[in-house]
Chain A
Amino acid sequence: MTAVQNAGPLIRLAALSKHYGTHLVLDQIDLEVVKGEVLAIIGPSGSGKSTLLRCINYLEVPDGGLITVGPTTIDATRAASRSELSGLRRRVGMVFQSFNLFPHMTVLRNVSLAQERVLGRTRRDADERSMQLLKRVGLADKAGQYPVRCSGGQQQRIAIARSLALDPEVMLFDEPTSALDPELGLEVLAVMRELAESGMTMIVVTHEMGFAENVSDTVMIMADGKIVEKGPSAQVMRNPQQERTKRFLRAVHDR
């Protein structure tokens, strides 16, 4: 929860931009996230939140700008090499709105696969680590099951374990609870809160205002591809400065 301010930013985006055709999705975004920081990105649909998140691990290719994660910097104006991309993706874990577990593998294989193929661990070591992670998200008893036998909330917790298995330096969450009913969302949020408290650097695109206010260190509001406001979570959520932020939060609270 407490960000280490003196370590320099772990993630730095400089003048990041992205178009879909003539539509400007990200307009010269500058952003720094320090190690241990939990950043919540909120804002209306179509504001570019998810695109921004997906650019950080290059699932979307930006048109311009610089992306730095740890020691890797990628210049979006030229084609990224395979080794740059794999370096980037090893440092960055991603959790999707729709979980995207591999349906033809058991829960354990889902978590172990990348450890064996990417980190070169033996199956035994990988499975051992996977069991620790499954225990951490409270699902050790599901190891031998197929994902379809698990509820949405359980699947999302498994997806979190799958990402953690690569020991990432930062975890990206793309609306991790939006496909879940409120109760199942809660169990995912509990895992995310535990992760935040353990010091993981996290960037979370979310509509969960409680998470933004109570768990994250920093909140950022986006609209029309721009950062409208960014600051300590309590300040942005309780005392926003920008008219656009006030309007968005009012709409959220009036529901």
Chain B
Amino acid sequence: MIPTYDELVSWLPELLSGLSISLQVTALSLALGIPCGLVLALGVLAKGKGTRILALFLVEVGRGAPALVLLQFIYFGLPGTGLTLGSFSAAVIALAWNTGAYTSEIIRASLQSIAHGQREAAVSIGLNRFDELRYVLLPQGLRVALPALLGFSILIFQGTSLCFTIALPELVSRAYEIGSTTFRYFPALLAAGVLYACISIPASLLVSHVEKRAGSHAQR
């Protein structure tokens, strides 16, 4: 059941290159998705009705549809409309949408948690709406949001395993491939699992560390 040393040595290059693709998809999805989340959060909080409805639509679809469905839709569904994407691009777009939708709610809640007096102070010293956001609300709101955003990032990293279904050669795909050629499915998947854990567990520890420090600017 447990991979032998020789197996590990021969599988490792394959698995590590899969891990590297998983990490790339994660990083790009977050880099695109979190800014989208910020824009969507501001859209949901906007005064204009049209903006609000569009933002709510994107958020609700992104949160309502399972990531697997988004992936399949973008990779297999979109070509029907004439738009064909590689599995890597499709994976990034689907997970970025998912990220944007979820993080928009995290960011919206954080912004709304900032005391009302902060807005009033910003308004009364004459800051316009943009400066109020940039200098007063976002720096405080993002500090509140940071632990939740990092926690969500770990979920997205694990979520990249779904890309196995659209033939992206990420970690799970590689393990599965090894399994299909050697019939050692379980040891190969076990090795992949250990690699996920090697990233996720330290990341979780980092999140709880950040969580303890977040908001400590209040005691600096």
Binding site for B on A (CB under 8 A): 57, 59, 82, 86, 89-90, 92-94, 96, 98, 100-104, 113-114, 117-118, 146, 148-149, 159, 162-163, 165-166
Contacts and interface: CB of A to CB of B under 8 A. Distances in A.
A163 B125 contact: yes
A102 B136 contact: yes
B121 to A, nearest CB: 4
A102 B127 CA distance: 13
Contacts of A100: 115, 117-118, 120-121
Contact of A114 (B117, B127, B218, B220): B127
Nearest to A148: B218
Contact of B135 (A86, A90, A117): A117
A236 B177 CA distance: 91
Interface string B181-220: 0000000000000000000000000000000000001111
A149 to B, nearest CB: 8
Given A96-B121, A102-B121, A113 B135 contact: yes
A96 B12 CA distance: 63
A86 B117 contact: no
Interface in B118-177: 118, 120-121, 123-128, 131, 135-136, 139-140, 143
Contacts of A89: 123-126
Contact of A59 (B124, B126, B131): B124
Given A100-B121, A114-B125, 19 more contacts: A86-B128, A89-B123, A90-B126, A92-B124, A93-B124, A101-B121, A102-B118, A102-B135, A103-B217, A113-B125, A117-B131, A117-B135, A118-B126, A148-B218, A149-B220, A159-B121, A162-B125, A163-B124, A166-B125
B139 A86 contact: no
A148 B219 contact: yes
A190 to B, nearest CB: 23
Q: Is the interface of B mostly helix, strand, loop or mixed?
A: helix
B126 A86 contact: yes
A124 to B, nearest CB: 18
A114 B136 CA distance: 11
A194 B190 CA distance: 75
**A-B complex: 3 closest residue pairs judged by Cβ atoms:** A100-B121, A100-B117, A114-B125
Contacts of B131: 117
Given A103-B217, A114-B126, A96 B140 contact: no
Interface residues of B, number: 21
A94 B115 CA distance: 17
Given A117-B131, A146-B217, A57 B124 contact: yes
Contact of B125 (A82, A103, A118): A118
A69 B49 CA distance: 33
Contacts of A90: 126
A94 B117 CA distance: 12
Nearest to B125: A114
Contacts of A82: 128
Contacts of A104: 139-140, 143, 217
Contacts of B117: 96, 98, 100
Contacts of B115: 100
Contacts of B217: 103-104, 146
A148 B215 CA distance: 12
A127 to B, nearest CB: 16
A104 B117 CA distance: 14
Nearest to A98: B117
A94 B219 contact: no
A96 B120 contact: yes
Contacts of B118: 100, 102
Contacts of B127: 113-114, 117-118
A103 B218 contact: yes
Contacts of A103: 140, 217-218
Contacts of A59: 120, 123-124
B124 A146 contact: no
B146 to A, nearest CB: 13
Nearest to B140: A104
Given A100-B117, A103-B217, A148-B218, A94 B139 contact: no
